[in-house]
Amino acid sequence: MLGEKAAKGKFAGFIDTLTVFAITGGVAGSLGYGLLQLASGLNMVFGIAPSAVVYSGIALAIVIGYTISSTSGLKKGIAWLSDKNAWIFIGLMLFVLVFGPTTYIFNLFTQSTGSYFTHFMEGMTYTAPFADSELWPQWWDMYWWVDWLSFGPIVGLFCVRLGYGRTIRQFVIVNWLLPAAFAFIWFSVFGGVVLHAQLFEGIDIFSVYTQQGAEALTFSAFDLVPLAQIIKPIMIITIALSFVTLADSMTSTISTMSLKENQDVKEAPVSLKVFWGITMGLASLVFTLTGGIDGIKMVKTFAGFPILFVGLFMLGGFIRYMSKRPKDANGQYVYEDAVADAPDDPNEVEVRPTWLERKFIKKYRG
C-alpha cells in the first residue's frame, strides 16, 4: 500500500511494535485461561483451593515448560509436544464418545452442523440490538473475533514456517480443514455430554457454571462418564501441555520476529526466547490475579483490536500487488525474476501419488 520505503522505515518499526504488543497480549490472555482452568482442576481433583499462590505456581511450571521446549528448537520441542498432546486429546474424546450418551451426541452433531451452515451468515452478523440482550455478542462472539485477531500476525508467520516443503493441498488439509473438523466433533462430544446431563439426567450443570465459572465445566463433564478420578488428572496434564504447546510456538516465532535481521535465521537466541517466555508468563499472571476471566478478556480485546486495521491494510496491499503483477498472453501470472529460477526447498518432503494415481500409472505405464 505504501511502497518499499515505508516497509523499511519508522512506519515498519511501528507496525512491528504493534504486532508484538498484540501477540504478547493474546498469548498472555490465553495462558490466563489456562491458569483458571488448571486451578479449577486441581481444586476438583485434589481439593487445592484456587489462590494467588496456586496461580503463581501453575504459571511458573508452564513458563518453565514452554521456555525449555522453545529453546530446544522448532522440530524437537514443538513437534514432540504437539504430537503427544494431540493424541491425548483424541483419546479422551473417543473415551467420552463411547462411554457417554453416544446416540445423543451423534444426533446433536448432525443437527448442529446443519444449523451452523444454514445460519452461517446470520450468526456472522449477529449483534443483538435489543434491550435485554445483555451484550452477549459483544462479550462473546465479537470478543472471540478480536481475540483471534491478536494471533493473526504470529499464526501467519508460524504457518509459513510449517509450510516449507509442503504442497498447498497438504497445507490446507492439515492446517485448516482437519483442525476445523476436529473442533466440530470435539464440541459435539463434550457439549453433548453436558447438555444430555442437564436436559435428561436431572444434573444441574448450569449451577457449576454460575458458582465456579466456565473453567470448571470441562472437569464437570468427566463426572458423567466412568473412571472420572483417573481421567481428570490426565485432563489436567493435557491442558497444561496444550498451553505449553501454544506458548512454545508463539515464543519461538516472536523471538525470531524481534531480531533486526531475521531473513535467514532458523532459530532466535536462547536469551531472547527466555525473555519473551517470562514476559508472557508474567503478563498472564498479572491479568489473572487482578481481573479474572473479565480481566483476561479485556487485555485480549485491547491487544487484538489494532491488528484489524493492520490486516485491512495488508489485504489492500495484497490486492494492489496482485493487480500489478505481469501476465502472459493467456492471462496467467508470470513469475517474478527474483523467484523464477529459485531452487526448491532442500527439505521438501516427498509427495507420494494417491492410490488412484498409482492405479492409473500401473495400468497405462506398466
Per-residue pLDDT, 157: 74
Per-residue pLDDT, 357: 61
Per-residue pLDDT, 75: 55
Per-residue pLDDT, 159: 81
Instruction: Report the phi/psi class of residue 126: left, alpha or beta, with left for phi > 0 and alpha for psi in -120 to 50.
Output: beta
Task: For residue 327, list its beta bridge partners.
Answer: 333
Per-residue pLDDT, 189: 94
Q: Rounded to whole angstroms, how far apart are CA atoms 237 and 331?
A: 54
Per-residue pLDDT, 335: 67
Full-model pTM: 0.72
Furthest-apart CA atoms within the chain: distance in Å: 73
Residue 282 C-alpha cell reads as 508474567
Per-residue pLDDT, 349: 45
Per-residue pLDDT, 99: 92
Residue with cell 508467520: 157
Which of helix, strand or coil describes residue 269?
coil
Q: Which pLDDT tens digits describe the chain residue by residue (366 residues)? A: 777 777 777 887 888 888 888 888 888 888 888 888 888 888 888 888 888 899 899 888 888 887 777 666 555 666 676 677 778 888 889 999 999 999 999 999 999 999 999 999 998 888 888 888 778 888 778 878 887 888 787 777 778 777 878 888 888 998 889 989 989 999 999 999 999 999 998 888 888 888 877 777 878 888 888 888 888 888 888 888 888 877 777 777 788 778 877 666 667 788 888 888 888 888 888 888 887 777 777 778 888 888 888 888 888 888 888 887 777 777 777 766 655 555 555 444 445 555 566 666 666 655
Rg (CA), the chain: 23
Which of helix, strand or coil describes residue 255?
helix
Closest alpha carbon to 77 in 293, 324, 244 = 244
